Amino acid sequence: MNILEFTQSEELLGDTFEGESWETWRAILSGAFAIPMEAKRRAIFDKVAGGRIPPQSRVSQLWVVAGRRSAKTHNAAAMAVYLASVGASVGGLIDKLSPGERGVIALLAVDRSQAKVALGYIKAMFEDTPMLASLVDKITPEAIHLNNRVSIEVSTNSYRSVRGRTLIAALLDECAYFRSDSSASPDIEVYRALVPGLATTGGMIIGFSSPYARRGLLYEKYKKHYGQAGDVLVVQGGTAVFNPTLDPKVIERAIQDDPESAKAEWLGMFREDVEGFVSRDTVEQLTRNGPLELPYNSRNKYFSFTDPSGGGKSKGADSFTLAIGHKEGNKVVIDLVRGAKGVPAQIVEQYAELMKSYKVKKVNLDRYGGSVFADMFESHGINAEHSPQSRSELYQNALPLINSARVEFPPCDILTNQLITLERRTARSGKITIDHAPGQHDDFCNSALGLVTLNSNRSRVLGYTL
């Protein structure tokens, strides 16, 4: 039974994938699994695959670039269920496992919420079908273990979650939006971790996402393989192509409101208005080898900047950050940058003591920090002033200083990753803004670049800043 027969079988998935609205997905699956196509389906395949020749055998990688509401996660769930059940025996995938070894189908999502959606689809397909339900050995909050030595595991986009596993397949849900505080390119790191795990079985990598900026793993696969023959298949299309049942007015209104955003969200096109702020090479060249924090030196006059807008206790919240620095010639040296979460009053007390140890008597606050934080610092003897520039303005004004090597960054991985993932966006009016990417953070960036921008014009004479 091939994957099309599987998805259209009433005994397996019922009528879930019935109807003409699924025809684009059938054409894609036909191409990915080398299933012969009649003329009408072949025409659809040609349209979404860039006119390439259909693969003659099952591809090693499938990358789907599609607009929102294109049923990407639903189809990924169906592929996972097929590959874990009927598909596991196709090509002898299970036979390639060592005695006692389990094969894993890994479905990686942007966050836990999206992972739960994917697992919900998968669980429903098993539980609603007696034939599939008979394969289930155990269900946990993050996995379904089958009695054929295959498990489907759902997790967030971490390369650690797939290392050491023997993989039958890997599915990357919304991979253009993968994010991590510890990496500037989590999508690429995940991909590199997946390849060795698939070596034994020769399993598939399946990535599917709405597109974003012209960078990252999905864009690189698109740029290299779209419309090209080979065992990597890349398809692209807007929401209307994948889901013709969606009301066209929804897309029309989105295009009127924000054309550039709508190109990615609904038309399946990579954004042209989003560019990187600064390259990794540039940041690394300006980063000292060590230490992470420079100790106080009485020859220096220190200054500080803080972004108190974060500090919440939740895992995904921004940190309450502080940067302290000094001048050396025309260069701003960032001695330290710290982030903390918890009770704001306690963080302010800790930071005030830290600033006093560097003889800092004044701190600049993020423009939107609020007067309550200024009052907190004042109560600890630290004069607090709000930045006259917005966050985006601080970033824009820091860029010439970075490009002219007038900044020294500390070897802080979080700061480095945040700098690299900052984005430069151009609005229809021509106005340029710089901000973090969706789902990312820039709390460390804000304190560091605020410090650099507001203190770059200080002069330094005989070891002291005037």
Q: What is the pLDDT of residues 21-42, one digit of tens each?
A: 999 999 999 999 999 999 999 9
pLDDT at 463 over 50: no
Q: What tokens does 137 get? A: 């050995």
Domain identity same for 331 and 230 = no
Higher-confidence position of 458 and 11:
11
Rounded CA-CA distance 361/175 in Å is: 46
CATH of the domain at 129: 3.40.50.300
pLDDT higher than threshold 90 for residue 235: yes
Residue that finishes a domain, picked among 216, 251, 272: 272
Q: Indicate whether 131 and 33 sit together in one domain.
A: yes
Same domain, yes or no, for 264 and 284?
Answer: no
460 has a pLDDT exceeding 70: no
Cβ partners under 8 Å of residue 205, min gap 6? 60, 61, 62, 169, 170, 172, 191, 194, 195, 198
For residue 181, name the pLDDT band (cuts at 50, 70, 90). low
- The pLDDT tens digits of the residues spanning 333-370 come to 999 999 999 999 999 999 999 999 999 999 999 877 67
Same domain? For 53 and 131 the reply is: yes
Predicted confidence band of residue 465 (pLDDT cuts 50, 70, 90): very low
- Which of 218, 246, 272 represents a domain boundary (last residue)? 272
3-state secondary structure of 308: coil
The Cα 95–Cα 328 span in angstroms is 65
For residues 70 and 115, membership in a common domain is answered with: yes
CB count in 10 Å sphere of residue 246: 17
pLDDT of residue 184: 63
Give which of 384, 312, 379 is closest to 343, Cα–Cα: 312
Element (H, E) at 444: helix 443-455
Task: Let me know how many helices (H) and strands (E) the chain has, helices first.
Answer: 18, 19
**Phi, psi torsion values for 405, nearest 5 degrees:** 60, 40
The pLDDT score that the predictor gives to residue 316 is 54
Q: Which of 3-17, 109-123, 161-175, 388-402 has the highest mean pLDDT?
A: 388-402
| DSSP of 133-197 | HTTEEEEETTEEEETTSEEEEEEES-GGGTTT--EEEEEEETGGG---TT-S-HHHHHHHHHHHH
Whether residues 143 and 109 fall in one domain: yes
Contact 428, 168 (CB under 8 A): no
- Tell me the C-alpha to C-alpha distance, in Å, between residue 158 and each of 118, 188, 263, 269, 440: 16, 11, 28, 26, 15
Same domain, 285 and 240: no
What does the alpha-carbon distance between residue 76 and residue 3 come to, in Å, rounded to a whole number?
12
- 213 and 307 in a single domain? The answer is no
State which residues form the domain around 426.
280-465
- 323 and 399 housed in the same domain: yes
The CATH number of the domain where 421 resides is what?
3.30.420.240
Same domain, 396 and 289: yes
Residue finishing a domain among 250, 272, 294: 272
The answer to whether residues 157 and 305 belong to one domain is no
**Shared-domain flag, residues 228 and 366:** no
The total of structural domains in the chain comes to: 2
